[in-house]
Structure 1
Amino acid sequence: MDRVIEYFLTEPRRLTSLGRALIRFGGGVLTIGAIGNVANAAVGIVQTMGKKLATEQTLATLYPSLPTWWIPESIVGCLPAVVAVITGIVLTQMGERLRAYL
């Protein structure tokens, strides 16, 4: 653990790079989750327009040939991505402060 801390303390840009990567990763997952939510809503609207009772759809039923296990479909599923974004913001700020200090 000491080596990990020393790795980031010797070069603060590594810490900011890790933070930015976490922000991009979490933001990308949240964006794709929002797109999936729009796709589910669009299917529900089309079913309602066809006088058919709209049933609850999941991305796995909409796109059976695609791996959709990693796409968040609920608030609970979005929490890891939100935590990644918040952690990324904190790490980026810490890296910038450390770089200014050194």
Structure 2
Amino acid sequence: MHWLRSIIRRAPRRYLVLGKTSLLVGAILIVGAVFARGGLVALNTERAEAKLPALRTLAEAYPQYPTWIVPEGPLGFAISAVLVLIGTGLTVMAEAAIKEQRWRGKV
């Protein structure tokens, strides 16, 4: 962990931006998946009333859209959660490095 902190100390603002970007991307993926799942449930409710078989994936429901971006399974959610955790960790470490540099008078 010490090696990561020493890398971040060299350019803390760069890693702050990288951390916030990673956090934002992971959060958007998770929220997008929740809304997509809600839309799929609503669509399957209508299909059940029409006595049609239920759709399992977003790709079946919306073939014209790039649904590969949206995490649907446990692996996709795990990757999104890892992005959020990495982003949070980088952001916290970069902010600490920036505070340390300000305290020392380097920034």
Amino acid at match of 2:27: G
Q: Identity percentage over the alignment?
A: 28
TM-score normalised by the chain length of structure 1: 0.82
Shift of 1:47: 2.3
Q: State TM-score, norm by structure 2.
A: 0.79
| Equivalent position of 2:93 in the other structure | 94
Spell out, residue by residue over 1:51-72, the C-alpha distance to the aligned partner (whole angstroms, 9 max, x if none).
Answer: x265242111111111111211
Which residue does the alignment assign to 1:18?
18
Q: Distance in 1 between matches of 2:81 and 2:7?
A: 26
Counterpart residue number, 2:74:
75
Alignment of 1:1-102 (within 5 A): 8-50=8-50, 52=51, 54-102=53-101
Q: Which amino acid aligns with 1:22?
A: S
CA RMSD of aligned residues (A): 2.1
2:57 counterpart letter in structure 1:
T
Uncovered stretches (5+) of structure 2, i.e. residues with no partner = 102-107
Count residues with an aligned counterpart.
98
Return the alpha-carbon distance in structure 1 between the equivalents of residues 75 and 55 of structure 2.
17
Partners of 2:23 and 2:14 in 1: CA distance: 14
In the alignment, structure 1 segments of 5+ residues that lack a partner are: none
**Structure-2 separation of matches of 1:56 and 1:35:** 16
